[in-house]
Structure 1
Amino acid sequence: MEEDAPSLNRHEKQFLLDQLETLGLGHKSMHYHKIWAVQEGNKFQNRIKDYIQQDLLALVVNFVDILAHKSSQMEVLKEMVPDESGYRTAVRSWLEHSWLLQVLKRLSENGWSVIITSDHGSIRVQNDVMVAADRNASSGVRYKFGRNLNTNEKNALIIKEPGHYRLPVFGPQPSYIIAKDENYFVYPNEAHKYQKKFKNSFQHGGISMEEMMVPVAVMKGRG
């Protein structure tokens, strides 16, 4: 019941290039790099001297997102990340021993300014909400799109006309449902299975301050 993240975000580099052109910065050199695994991060760290020759370095690190998703799939992670405090502790421990911290130190030494942000936050979900949908509906637990989706409007925003929200339209009779608060979606015929899997897990894609308000930190290099 999760979206295919790589396919949904496969145009990030092109969007960034387009934005640079729009801002009159198309002449600037840029390197975009997305990292999914520690081996890729180590390789990036080993080649940082090549990348710092660019005017702009765009780095997407997926560890925090992966930790949230995998915590609903692996019992050992459920024990390590049982709540928000455990989540923060796990992320901090990873950062302190990661290739990313070494990269940030190297950028600082070379006088770079670094902006750290996120495309979304996450929330620990608590309450299962029944949803009616056909088999072609998307699989997310905090939001879904497809034909004739329905649920209790007390628990979710129901969108029957996506164009009013500037959302893409997929096929005839398109609709979206987006979970509010700490709710997550389950189907009646598999409710118990997904209650056990997703309750107390960290998810994103819904309507909450934790998901929709993102931090922005600007750090100045010491070099």
Structure 2
Amino acid sequence: MRNYKILWADDEIDLLKPHIIFLNNKDYDVTPVNSGSDALDTLTKEDFDIIFLDENMPGLTGLETLSQIKENYPSIPVVMITKSEEEQIMEEAIGAKIADYLIKPLNPNQILLSVKKILDNKRLVSEQTNMSYQQEFRSISMEINENLDFQEWIDIYKKMVYWELRIDETEEKDMAEVLNMQKDEANAEFGDFVMESYEDWLNNPNEEKPLMSHRVMKEQVFPLLGQGEPVFVFIIDNLRYDQWNLMEPIISEFYNIEKEVPFYSILPTTTAYARNAIFSGMLPDEMAKKHSDIWVGEDEDEGKNNNEQEFLQRNLKRNNLDISVSYHKILQKNQGRQLVNNVNNLMTNDLNTIVYNFVDVLSHARTDMKMIRELAPDESAYRSLTMSWFQHSTLLELLRILSEKKVKVVITTDHGTIRVKKPIKIIGDRNTNSNLRYKVGKNLKVDTKDVYSSNDPDALHLPRPNVSSSYVFAQKNDFLAYPNNFNYYVNYYKDTFQHGGISLEEMIVPLIHLKPKN
């Protein structure tokens, strides 16, 4: 580790000699000066890693010196040191973006802690994170290979997301590859678990089962109605748990999290099935039979999610809920802006459902547009793009406005997405659907050990376009590719984000109840 250089400005610098010797003995190079003017003059001649600045100096005060330092050397961290405990001085210094604030008399270890916190923070965090994950790696691996139930799989997935985000913050990301291997192992075991459990969840009334898409409205939203406060349900299409965890600290500035209710997306994990199931309160085969006038099948060209509002209205009616309700789908920023401008009108509704499609659009754009692929070459960059959108979105603006009103807010999604890597060859006729993570069609031919396949759509509560239709679902980070033009197909879609199949990322998704802090 190189020696860091410290510039220390104090009109009583001679009295601080013991502290300077202490820092020198810790391999920090300290340059002492007696005034703010001397500090500014020294900065023109040498480079420094950190500046200690006394607040109460004759001539240029500490705050005046700080202002010039920030104007000319904005990247150098400054620690303000003062005898004063006046709140106004603290606020001015903090407002000027100081790195730390120390009050005299100084303690040598207090100074050392401040320096390490500022200069060695990334290194120390990286070392501690890597060591902590290494210690937990064995524990997670053992859990993965146990006979886990649906709640334990949720806990494992959330734990791995936690470590993924922690490792992402480290400098070298040394443990990222190890974690990715562990996630692959977990997804292999999770796929086996879903294959063994899924039909029982849907068909066995005595089977203990997770909350799933078609029960979300009835169990998590409808009980909130009729309590004198409008309910706002935000469905952010394609939102994964890691993305939610990055958004949470921002949202927590305005809301308390009342409860978190992760649920399992139904199969296929796509908008046409999973989100329609949320709005309708039904599984896909039931939607196709009972609402054939608005259900759009795989063999139809019409958009598959154009009837969500009608599905919701019929769901409310079936549950004897005679309420005022609004539905909005935000595809473009001007639609979000219009919604923000009309927020007071929404307050007269009992239920407001708002679909934000950006994350889904981003995942598709990353597949189709070279520029987006370059902007988001990996998971970390993909999360970063999502965060950048959220921080400047009308969704955040709307959440801020609602936080000042007496409302109930639910944030959720329809399914997640996974970065696909391994192609699986499949053969189907010309009417087979185009999704890379699942196929439905006649005479599908695929190596069954690599996929979850079913010749009985009824058991999965899925529509049967033809008498001989079957379904095939990719697992782990696989994707389904046709033998024709195979290499081109694989090179085009490898490392893209897809959904429709079976993975922790696609199936286990967040549902959050928020209560405004104000």
Q: TM-score range by the shorter chain?
A: over 0.9
1:82 aligns with 2:385: no
Higher CA-based Rg: 2
Equivalent of residue 145 in structure 1, options 440, 463, 467: 440
User: What CA distance in whole angstroms lies between the structure 2 residues aligned with 1:22 and 1:172?
Assistant: 30
Q: Is the 8 A contact 1:31 1:56 kept in 2?
A: yes
8 Å CA contact retained: 2:421, 2:478: yes
1:65 Cα deviation from its structure 2 partner: 0.8
Task: Tell me if 1:12 matches 2:283.
Answer: no
**More displaced, 12-21 or 85-94?**
12-21
In the alignment, residue 109 of structure 1 is paired with which amino acid?
E
Q: What is the aligned counterpart of 1:21 among 310, 317, 325? A: 317
C-alpha distance in 2, partners of 1:11/1:152?
36
**How far apart, in 2, do the equivalents of 1:4 and 1:28 lie?**
26
Seq. identity, %: 39
Q: Deviations over 1:160-202 (max 9, x none)?
A: 1111211100023111111011000111112122212211111
The reply to whether residue 208 of structure 1 matches residue 508 of structure 2 is no
Q: Which has the higher contact order (CA 8 A, sep 6+)?
A: 1
Amino acid at match of 1:13: Q
Tell me, in whole angstroms, the C-alpha distance in 1 between the residues paired with 2:380 and 2:316.
Answer: 38
Quick one: which of 320, 332, 351 aligns to 1:56?
A: 351
Unpaired runs of at least 5, structure 1: none
CA distance in 2, matches of 1:190, 1:42: 44
Deviation at residue 58 of structure 1 after TM alignment:
0.1
Residue-by-residue CA offset, 1:90-125 (whole Å, 9 max, x unaligned)? 111111111111111111111211100111000000
Question: Superposition pairs for residues 129-144 of structure 1, below 5 Å?
Answer: 129-144=424-439
1:218 aligns with 2:505: no
Amino acid in the other structure paired with 2:306: R
Within-5 A mapping of 1:121-200: 121-200=416-495
Q: How many residues align?
A: 220
The one-letter amino acid of 2:383's match is R
Residues 4 and 96 of structure 1: is their aligned pair in 2 closer, same or farther, counting only changes over 3 Å? Answer: closer
The alignment yields a C-alpha RMSD, in angstroms, of: 1.7
Contact 2:425–2:482 at 8 Å: present in 1 too? yes
Q: Normalising by the residue count of structure 1, what TM-score does the alignment of the two structures yield?
A: 0.93
User: Structure 2: 5+ residue runs without aligned partners?
Assistant: 1-269, 273-301
Which AA in structure 2 matches 1:151?
Answer: V
Q: How does 1:35-54 map to 2 (within 5 A)?
A: 35-54=330-349
Q: CA deviation at 1:154?
A: 2.0
Quote how far apart the aligned CAs of 1:28 are.
1.4
Instruction: Report the Cα distance in structure 1 between the residues aligned to 2:428 and 2:361, rounded to whole angstroms.
Output: 27
2:351 maps to 1:65: no
Q: What letter corresponds to residue 314 of structure 2 in structure 1?
A: D
> Relative to 1, partners in 2 of residues 1:193 and 1:52: Cα closer, same or farther, differing over 3 Å?
farther
User: What secondary structure is seen at the aligned counterpart in 1 of 2:409?
Assistant: strand
Q: Which amino acid aligns with 1:212?
A: M
